[in-house]
């Protein structure tokens, strides 16, 4: 009887070894490591989303995962016509959790746009700031379509900034040159890189000089009241967030220290301290 048990154990060991060699997967990890099961689910879902995105492209956007990490995607948003972003090419990234699609991704903008802070997690109803409003049925196409819609809106949120239309137009024209310096952008979107290079080569010296003059004019106009206007812009964002119920109060609270610091940097802003404190107190 003992001999039969040993033979049975040996047989199981041989089968397990052959399975691991053939499929490159350790059975023990499949049994005990639940995070791996979630990762397999996320991978399968993201591959499906990518296939759908290639088959049914979304207007004004492109997106692709990193070859070495399917949980990190990079996207392009093309500035929509008749908006301050027209002509711009905006690069950003989506970072998906291991248990996607059951939890939402983090969303970042990398290219300066005048709408979002760069390399900062954005607080949107489709991002990881709001897992309670997330719907597992939403795809990558849904996410980037929602981001495009929000970019063209003026609603404030944590991670958004305020700027004039003139500033946005200048950033739109500078976006292509900015993206060419990004290795990931160039690796993932080589066809876009070629289009950008061609477009830049056709830009005349006169057009470049005009753009520089516009930049200098905006810089000069902003200098006298930069501290005060910066504070007011942040207060407007705070007030706006209060009026939009689909944003979390804690997201607004987390932005408060940035505005309080402005009082130290810009003494003339001290008159607004009570307003900042009152706004902050609304959420405690």
Residues labelled as active-site residues: 123
Query: What is the rounded distance in angstroms from the CA atom of residue 72 to the CA atom of residue 55?
Result: 20
- Report CA Rg, the chain: 25
Phi, psi of 113 (to 5 degrees): -130, -15
Q: Where are the beta strands (DSSP E) in the chain?
A: 61-65, 72-78, 89-95, 106-109
- Residues in Cβ contact with 231 at an 8 Å cutoff, skipping those fewer than 6 apart: 259, 262, 263, 266, 269, 272
Token pair belonging to 165:
């239309």
248 Cα distance to chain centroid: 18
CB neighbourhood size of 180 (10 A): 15
In which residue are the tokens 């052959």 written?
A: 18
CA distances to 122, 228, 242 from 276, in Å? 22, 14, 13
């Amino acid at each position: 009887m003992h001999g039969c048990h040993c033979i049975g154990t040996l047989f199981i060991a041989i089968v397990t070894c052959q399975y691991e060699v053939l499929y490159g997967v350790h059975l023990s990890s499949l049994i005990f490591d639940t995070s791996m099961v979630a990762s397999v689910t996320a991978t399968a879902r993201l591959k499906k989303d990518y296939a759908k995105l290639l088959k049914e492209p979304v207007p004004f956007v492109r997106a692709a995962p990193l070859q070495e990490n399917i949980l990190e995607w990079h996207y392009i948003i093309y500035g929509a016509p008749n908006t301050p972003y027209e002509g711009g090419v905006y690069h950003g990234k989506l970072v998906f959790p291991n248990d996607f699609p059951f939890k939402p991704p983090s969303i970042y903008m990398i290219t300066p746009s005048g709408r979002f802070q760069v390399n900062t997690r954005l607080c949107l109803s489709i991002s990881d700031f709001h897992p309670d409003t997330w719907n597992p049925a939403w795809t990558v196409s849904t996410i980037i379509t929602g981001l495009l819609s929000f970019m063209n809106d003026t609603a404030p949120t944590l991670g958004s900034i305020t700027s004039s239309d003139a500033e946005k137009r200048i950033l739109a024209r500078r976006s292509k040159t900015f993206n060419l310096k990004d290795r990931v952008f160039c690796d993932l979107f080589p066809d876009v890189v070629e289009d950008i290079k061609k477009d830049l080569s056709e830009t005349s010296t006169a057009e470049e000089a005009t753009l520089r003059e516009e930049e200098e004019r905006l810089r000069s106009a902003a200098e006298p009241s930069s501290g005060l206007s910066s504070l007011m812009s942040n207060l407007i964002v705070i007030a706006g967030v209060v009026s939009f119920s689909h944003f979390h109060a804690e997201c607004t609270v987390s932005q408060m220290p940035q505005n309080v610091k402005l009082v130290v940097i810009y003494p003339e802003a001290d008159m607004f301290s009570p307003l900042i404190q009152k706004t902050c107190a609304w959420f405690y």
